[in-house]
Amino acid sequence: MADDGYMPDSPRRDRRLTVATYNIHHGAGLDEIVDLDRIADAVCSTGAEIVGLQELDDGLERSGRVDQARHLAERLGREIAFFPTLERRGGRYGMGMVIAGAVESHFERLPRRGQEEPRGAIVARRDDLWFVVTHLSRDRFSRTAQTRALAAIVAGLDGPVLVMGDFNQGLRGLTPLLELGLASDGLFHRTLPRGGALRRGRHIDHILAGGGARIERSWTIASAGSDHLPLTAEVVLP
Domains of the chain plus CATH, in order, are 15-237 (3.60.10.10)
- Would you state the pLDDT for residue 44? 97
Each residue's pLDDT tens digit, 215-236: 999 999 999 999 999 999 999 9
Average pLDDT of 82-107? 93
- Count Cβ neighbours within 10 Å for each residue of 15-46 and write b for 16 or more, e otherwise: eebebbbbbbbbbbbbeeebebebbbebbeeb
Distances (CA, A) of 197 to 139, 150, 227: 17, 27, 7
- Would you state the pLDDT for residue 194? 67
- Is pLDDT above 50 for 38? yes
Distances (CA, A) of 42 to 97, 132, 175: 15, 21, 30
- Is pLDDT above 80 for 53? yes
pTM to 2 decimals? 0.91
